[in-house]
Amino acid sequence: MAVKMDPIHQFELKPLVSFGHIGNQEIAFTQSALYMFAAVGIIALITIVATAQRSVVPGRMQSVAEMFYEFIGSTLRQSAGHGSERFMPLIFSLFMFVLVLNMFGMIPYAFAVTSHIIVTFALALLVITTVIVYGFMAHGTKFLKVFVPSGVPGWLMPMIVAIEIVSFVSRPISLAVRLFANVLAGHIALKIFAGFVPALLAAGAWGAISPLPLALSVAVTALEFLVAGLQAYVFATLASIYLSDALHPGH
């Protein structure tokens, strides 16, 4: 008796409410959208409701909210430097959104929204659009200095400028691919290792070594929790590093 293993099945989108079709594409409220709304709800609960009291000595929930705020605030200040406070709402929202979605993905049977590249790419495009729009708004054409690093010999300049332009284009891609790939790969690995356990148990005498993949999947679960937090942190850090280019171009 073979146990069917389908590690990709968990990433399927299931339409909950359909709004009809545009061309061949169904426009629907999927479970992915539902998770996103739930994430926004949880974040609102942590940040708005918990801090509503504004007590000087914070309660439990308020200190959680303050902890997140201070953490992101210091990260932003370190990576983007002076004048970066105006991006605090953006970075804080991004971090909390990605973190909560990643953590939702770790709940058994839950759906990992950030395992879809279109979601992460939309977030990355939001960051890069902010960088470009703010950069041109604040510095005008001086923003193009981002592509011209200082201290490069003249004959190398055309090459470096071309590389810098491709590098700029690669930024949203790297932001999106990193988050999506880590979450996707983690969930597939988890599913496969966990799938070994029933497969080995079903294979008669091989069942004796089934505790090995079980232990491994426990370890991978712990690793995935680490990755879930870390990727949210990396996303926020990189977004603030890119924003620092918009704040201080031409270093």
Partner 1 sequence: MSGNDAGDGNGDGRQKPDEDLSARLKHLEKQIEEKLPAAPSRPSPGAGASNGASSLGLAMRLSTEFIAGVLAGGILGWLCDQFLGTKPWGLIVLLMLGFATGVYNVMRVSGSLSRPAAKSAADKNQDRERS
Q: Taking Cα atoms as reference points, which of 182, 29, 17, 51 lies closest to residue 112?
A: 182
* Three-class DSSP labels, 13-24: CCEEEEEEEECC
Minimum gap (Å) between residue 71 Cβ and partner 1 = 11
Distance, in Å, from the CA atom of 225 to the CA atom of 103, rounded to the nearest integer, reads 7
Q: Long-range contacts: 38-45, Cβ < 8 Å, 24+?
A: 38/104, 39/97, 39/100, 39/101, 39/104, 39/113, 40/97, 42/100, 43/93, 43/96, 43/97, 43/100
For partner 1, give the closer residue by CB, 152 or 212. Answer: 152
Minimum gap (Å) between residue 11 Cβ and partner 1 = 20
Minimum gap (Å) between residue 46 Cβ and partner 1 = 19
For partner 1, give the closer residue by CB, 34 or 61. Answer: 61
What residue ranges bind partner 1 (CB under 8 A)?
55-57, 59, 77-79, 81-82, 149-153, 162-163, 166-167, 169-171, 173-174, 177-178, 181-182, 226, 230-231, 233-234, 237-238, 241, 244, 248, 251
For partner 1, give the closer residue by CB, 102 or 182. Answer: 182
For partner 1, give the closer residue by CB, 17 or 166. Answer: 166
Minimum gap (Å) between residue 98 Cβ and partner 1 = 13
Q: Long-range contacts: 221-227, Cβ < 8 Å, 24+?
A: 221/106, 221/190, 223/186, 224/106, 224/186, 224/187, 224/190, 225/106, 227/102, 227/182, 227/183, 227/186
In contact, 88 and 73? CB cutoff 8 Å: yes
Minimum gap (Å) between residue 164 Cβ and partner 1 = 8
For partner 1, give the closer residue by CB, 122 or 208. Answer: 122
71, two tokens: 């953490």
For partner 1, give the closer residue by CB, 22 or 166. Answer: 166
Minimum gap (Å) between residue 40 Cβ and partner 1 = 25
